[in-house]
Amino acid sequence: AQSVTQLDSHVSVSEGTPVLLRCNYSSSYSPSLFWYVQHPNKGLQLLLKYTSAATLVKGINGFEAEFKKSETSFHLTKPSAHMSDAAEYFCVVSGPNNAGNMLTFGGGTRLMVKP
């Protein structure tokens, strides 16, 4: 069994300040973990993924996430927020085969960026 908890449903930051979106997971396996971003009225776009290689994963648009097994966390960060980062972000854990049928989505975090 596996589950994902995104600890904040909404996060608001000012442009140019750091972003932290928190994600905790539980899994009976060695999981693969993903962050997806969803802009309004758009599909989901993959930001980054962790698949048991380096624990610090760099993604697109300056985002990165660190896999911490001891804390069962996979928090998403960005040093400096941009207005275009305003979107919904989903933390996702996959099952043992990493197939789409084994994905579990978190409830999402809506990131708001103030000018």
Partner 1 sequence: NAGVTQTPKFRILKIGQSMTLQCAQDMNHNYMYWYRQDPGMGLKLIYYSVGAGITDKGEVPNGYNVSRSTTEDFPLRLELAAPSQTSVYFCASSESSGNTIYFGEGSWLTVV
Q: Of residues 12, 45, 80, 84, which one binds partner 1 by CB under 8 A?
A: 45
Q: In this complex, which beta carbon is closest to partner 1, that of residue 7 or of residue 103?
A: 103
Q: Which is nearer to partner 1, 28 or 41 (CB)?
A: 41
Residues 113/83, Cβ–Cβ less than 8 Å: yes
112 CB-near residues (< 8 Å, 6+ apart): 10, 11, 12, 13, 86
Which residues, 6+ apart, have CB-to-CB distance to 42 below 8 Å? none
Q: Which is nearer to partner 1, 9 or 80 (CB)?
A: 9
**Residue 18: what residue type?**
P
**Residue 15: which of 77, 63, 86 has the closest Cα?**
86
72-101 positions binding partner 1, by CB under 8 A: 90, 92, 97-101
Give the shortest CB-13-to-partner 1 separation in angstroms.
20
- Determine the residue type at 89: Y
Task: Out of 46, 60, 83, 112, name the contact with partner 1 by CB under 8 A.
Answer: 46
Does position 52 interact with partner 1 (CB under 8 A)? The reply is no
Residue 52: closest CA among 30, 72, 74 = 30
Residues in touch with partner 1 (CB under 8 A): 4, 9, 32, 36, 41-46, 49, 51, 90, 92, 97-101, 103-108
